[in-house]
Amino acid sequence: MDHAEFRRMGKEMVDYIADYMEGIETRPVFPSVKPGYLREMIPDSAPQDPESWENVQADIERVIMPGVTFWHSPHFHACFPTGNSYPALLGDMLSGAIGCVGFSWAASPACTELETVVLDWLGKMLQLPECFLSGTSGEGGGVIQGTASEATLVALLAARSKAVQKFKSDRPEMSDHDIMGKLVIYTSDQAHSSVERAAMLGAVRCRKLQTDEDLALRGAVLQAAVQEDRAQGLLPFFVVATLGTTPSCAFDSLQELGPVCREEVMWLHVDAAYAGSAFICPEYRPLLDGVEFADSFNFNPHKWMRVNFDCSAMWIRNRADIVDAFNLDPLYLKHDNQGLVTDYRHWQIPLGRRFRSLKLWFVLRMFGVKGLQEHIRKQVGLAKEFETLVRSDERFEVTAKVVLGLVCFRLKGSNDVNELLLKKINDGKKIYLVPSQMRGAYFLRFAVCAATTASQDVSYAWEIISQLAGDVLQGENS
């Protein structure tokens, strides 16, 4: 493909994408394909001779689209949103074209420097304490990880390395191996599975602590667990608090957990994967109060801030904690400015990294803070509309406080009846929802996801749900 061909085909691709986005609501939100569908549709091995763009292009609709779950359809209400926007796509296009692998400052200075500055912008939008920003006298800074799971793992590994050093100097008689066997982390019974997984990968114990009636982890519960574990000879060192839990968007009490972490010398990591975007609105910023106690904080602009996957923003109070934990300097990676500049390879698990800050920069500039706040407020408003509809129907109950863009609800009655309702909803493929469970009660989650979701889509979803509820209840009574 030469430059002229790329111009032509690239423009066709842009047109295809714009058509796709414009008509996305006409596609069934969840695919009907069976596992293994795709292997039968394409040859067993790669072609020996080049194929034409026209052939490749034709296979997008034939092979790919039938197997796509349309996360950006206004009828998609599963999980949490995943971001998307034209400014982000433009940024990603450029990132692909520049195609640098920004593991060190020298590997592409713009890649490192834009990331550092844009994460300061974002940190200021969230009113993070100054110590987390790079361009201040603090020791902290921001980095873009691929996912919230990676951010938790990186924080855990950094905290583990710091803890091992500390416990070794406190108790010289203990070997690294002895210490490792006694390390323990804490999180709530509502935390995302990635926290437990990080503990598995980090080879440390994980205790999932019980939450209160609002599904929040409280300070006294953490304190009691730490005391109990210390009495058993264990070594508590790391806590993950969640702001906006996956099952129900509940908020742990940072203001209570923070002082316990300080007192007990435990690293506090805050996972606000979904909810974090909302903190750019002054009315939701109080939900972040207590972040001043955190050692690391993370949220996903790729969830709710119009940036397409992947872009997970992480800030560290003391960058040396992370850089020192993962620092190796082979000769082939050395450069003249080493030690004077940020080399992001020390802040993450892989060596290579994409120029992800470009898409974030484009989004922040082309929406502006006000545009992004408007997006959040609109989506919270739509969730409230849905909540009102649920509450107006006495067959249903709302099962958790609606704080942001997620409504948890169920038919009053058995888990079986709710499971059947969800099955009927999703079998119809007109809208798509996923369930969750809380203290034994199965419920449905309605998340406002696509940026184009409007009031009429909420009413449309509710019509389907309430009609199917009638069918399910009728079946039960007959």
**What residues line the site for ligand PLP (CB under 6 A)?**
80, 147-149, 192, 194, 242, 244-246, 271, 273-274, 300, 312
Query: Which amino acid, residue 74?
Result: P
Q: Tell me, what amino acid is at 162?
A: K
Instruction: Give the β-pairing of 406-411 and 396-398.
Output: antiparallel
Which residue reads 């842009």 in tokens?
Answer: 14
Give the pair of three-digit tokens for residue 455. Answer: 């009031």
Task: For residues 347 and 360, give the distance between their C-alpha atoms in angstroms, rounded to a whole number.
Answer: 19
Distance CA 432, CA 30 (A): 7
DSSP 92-138: HHHHHHH----SSTTT-HHHHHHHHHHHHHHHHHTT--GGG-TTSSS
Token pair for 232: 């058993």
Residues 273, 303 contacting (CB under 8 angstroms): yes
- Distance from CA of residue 383 to its chain's centroid? 19
Which of 131, 141, 133, 126 minimizes the C-alpha distance to 364?
126
Dihedral angle sign, alpha carbons of residues 207, 208, 212, 215? positive
Q: From CA 288, how far away is CA 212, in angstroms rounded? A: 19
Rounded Cα distance, 455 and 202, in Å: 45
CA angle, 335 then 339 then 341, to 5° = 85
Q: Which phi and psi angles does 139 have, rounded to 5°? A: -100, 5
Phi, psi of 393 (to 5 degrees): -115, 110
Asked if residue 15 has a cis previous peptide bond (ω within 30° of 0), the answer is: no
- Helix/strand/coil for 314: strand
Candidates 282, 278, 271; CA nearest to 304 is 278
460 contacts: CB under 8 Å, gap ≥ 6: 75, 430, 431
Instruction: Calculate ∠ Cα 355-240-184, nearest 5°.
Output: 120
Q: Where are the beta strands (DSSP E) in 189-302?
A: 205-209, 235-242, 267-271, 296-299
Element (H, E) at 436: strand 434-438
